[in-house]
Structure 1
Amino acid sequence: METKPPNIKLAVPFFMVTDMEVSLRFYTEGLGFKMTNQWTPREKIEWCWLERDAVSVMLQQPRTRNDEQRGPLGGGLTISYQCADALALYHEFTAAGLTVQEPFVGNGLWVVGLKDPDGYRIEFESPTDVKEETKYSEWVGV
């Protein structure tokens, strides 16, 4: 029996943003992503592709908002990145001045959560054997 190579290889979150400059600062300076592609049809970035390690995200600032895009962005959506050490990222992000929720253990994972400038919830998670629902401050004895 012949095995076909995978057809679907990658899922990339694609966020509409209200202010590209603010979002780019958050993702690049705050979260450490690097811009690897951009679209600048009118002398400013309207779309871009960002990467960090093995994950990507796309951002686009629409020229106008149609009826489908009315209302707040980011509601009801969470992107969870699985990583080797979420707590290291927690320290990196707080050092960069980002507001990060206190890490906690859920489903056997340290969960480091924050929101981007448009309200999209982003979580970085890594495996742990620490007791469920433990907060970081309890774990380090603060």
Structure 2
Amino acid sequence: MTHTDYSLLARQLEALLDGRDWLTNSAQTCAFIMQQVPDLNWVGFYLQRQPELLTLGPFQGKPACNPIPFSKGVCGAAGRSRQTQRIDDVHAIADHIACDAASNAELVVPILCGEALWGVLDVDSPLRGRFSAADQEGLEALVEVFVRSSELPDLPLAW
């Protein structure tokens, strides 16, 4: 498996995100990760716009499932727990939501504004076991760059 220099990618992403607009930055972040990180088939944001529900945001890849309740799938687990989910084999997860049958591994990073969940970054790969601890740390760092570079809108409801 190829080593990815996430510290270099973080610096490049910081330079790319030249405005504070969260929508532009989320689209740019997806495209950047899809282009720079090998062996991925889907990268995208799911946003929390209603309690216990994630709604599809900007992404790169095939059309995706929408919406995703907190009660289902890897994205739902990240939303519920507010902790990164790194799954070597999504087919071993009983409530996995299969949007693309080619996806075999998944990494989902929650995006928090203080204590509130703003959304998640979902990254899929056709390779089982694709994501290492280093990938998790690197992708979490890229999410931090996105958050620092963006004015994230307030959640529409106080939940």
Same-fold call, TM cutoff 0.5: no
TM-score (norm 2): 0.26
TM-score (norm 1): 0.28
Would you tell me which structure has more helix in proportion to its own residues? 2
Which of the pair has more CA radius of gyration? 1
Q: Which has the higher contact order (CA 8 A, sep 6+)?
A: 2
